[in-house]
């Protein structure tokens, strides 16, 4: 299972040894998620910053490249993450930042991690307790061991687009090259198939049921035996797509962490536009 609902989490938080809860509220362009955390968060939750803690410095590797393993280990230990102990991640409710945290933890070798279904919004909607108290977690002892989930670089993404299915999780106008609000070049990786991340969610923003996800992925060409991976602008939205692929049973799905922001850093890499892969 990749998701946990608010009622189940509430029951687990009442246990003698509750899961470690991490607040990763974040929005592209701000405001900083820490401000929302300080205004109110789940009891016992510790804030982690997607930009500073779950990514390396932006540059040629992309806007949200992989974090340094040693720095990530220090951050997670400071947040109270323990080896073999369950972690629950939540964001405002769209699941993107929480999925990125889920993916980073899984990549780092920590398997017992869930995402709160519906995030902070779902927790509040059920009238569950929120606090602005400072949280001092107990010391963590996680050892970061990179490689828990498959990662694509630019060459690997190009190969996958030819030999398997490389899903572009961005909105369709960005895929077509009609607009590009963030990166310097518009278009998509040749051979990539557009499946906007929003198509994997229902009207409330929550992930669709597994059988609906399977159907959506099959319609995009994801079938048994064909390798699959995903990318977006900088590896955040696509982490949600990889999360959805896991929920649909494709636990082999790879993430191109650098994504489009890394791809266009090299002007020699080809760029496609229009509806076709």
Active-site residue among 213, 232, 242, 245? 232
Q: Is residue 94 part of a domain?
A: yes
- pLDDT at 1 > cutoff 90: no
81 is catalytic: no
Alpha carbons 163 and 226: distance in angstroms, whole number: 8
Full residue range of the structural domain in which residue 239 is found: 151-263
pLDDT digits (tens, 9 = 90+) for 115-155: 999 999 999 999 999 999 989 999 999 999 999 999 999 99
Q: Per the domain annotation, does 240 fall within a domain?
A: yes
227 and 172 both lie in a single domain: yes
Please give the average per-residue pLDDT across 145-173, as a whole number: 98
Same domain as 188, residue 96: no
Counting other chains too, the contacts that 218-224 makes at CB distance below 8 Å and 24 or more residues apart are 220/165, 220/167, 220/193, 220/195, 221/165, 221/193, 222/165, 222/167, 222/250
Evaluate whether residue 50 is within a structural domain.
Answer: yes
Q: Is residue 114 part of a domain?
A: yes
Average pLDDT over residues 63-79: 98
- At 238, which CATH number? 3.40.250.10
Please tell me whether residues 117 and 175 are part of one structural domain.
Answer: no
pTM: 0.96
**Tally of structural domains, the chain:** 2
How do residues 182-238 score in pLDDT, each as one tens digit?
A: 999 999 999 999 999 999 999 888 999 999 999 999 999 999 999 999 999 999 999
Residue 135 belongs to a domain? no
Say whether both 156 and 243 belong to one domain.
yes
Interatomic CA distance for residues 1 and 176, integer angstroms: 34
């Amino acid at each position: 299972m990749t998701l946990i609902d608010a009622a189940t989490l509430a029951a687990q938080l009442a246990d003698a040894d509750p899961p470690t809860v991490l607040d990763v509220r974040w929005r592209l362009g701000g405001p900083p998620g820490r401000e929302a955390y300080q205004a109110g968060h789940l009891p016992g939750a510790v804030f982690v910053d997607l930009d500073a803690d779950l990514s390396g410095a932006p540059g040629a590797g992309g806007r949200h490249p992989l974090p340094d393993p040693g720095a990530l280990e220090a951050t997670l230990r400071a947040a109270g993450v323990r080896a073999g102990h369950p972690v629950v991640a939540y964001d405002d409710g769209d699941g993107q930042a929480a999925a990125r945290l889920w993916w980073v933890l899984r990549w780092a070798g920590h398997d017992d991690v869930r995402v709160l279904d519906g995030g902070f919004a779902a927790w509040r909607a059920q009238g569950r307790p929120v606090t602005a108290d400072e949280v001092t977690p107990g010391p963590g002892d996680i050892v970061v061991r990179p490689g828990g989930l498959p990662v694509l670089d630019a060459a690997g993404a190009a190969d996958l687009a030819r030999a398997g299915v490389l899903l572009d999780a961005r909105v369709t106008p960005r895929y077509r090259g009609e607009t590009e609000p963030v990166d310097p070049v518009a278009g998509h990786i040749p051979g990539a198939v557009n499946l906007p991340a929003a198509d994997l969610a229902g009207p409330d923003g929550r992930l669709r049921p597994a059988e609906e996800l399977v159907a959506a992925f099959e319609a995009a060409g994801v079938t048994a035996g064909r390798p699959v991976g995903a990318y977006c602008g900088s590896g955040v939205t696509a982490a949600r797509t990889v999360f959805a692929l896991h929920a649909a049973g494709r636990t082999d799905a790879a993430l191109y962490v650098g994504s489009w922001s890394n791809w266009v850093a090299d002007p020699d890499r080809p760029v496609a536009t229009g509806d076709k892969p």
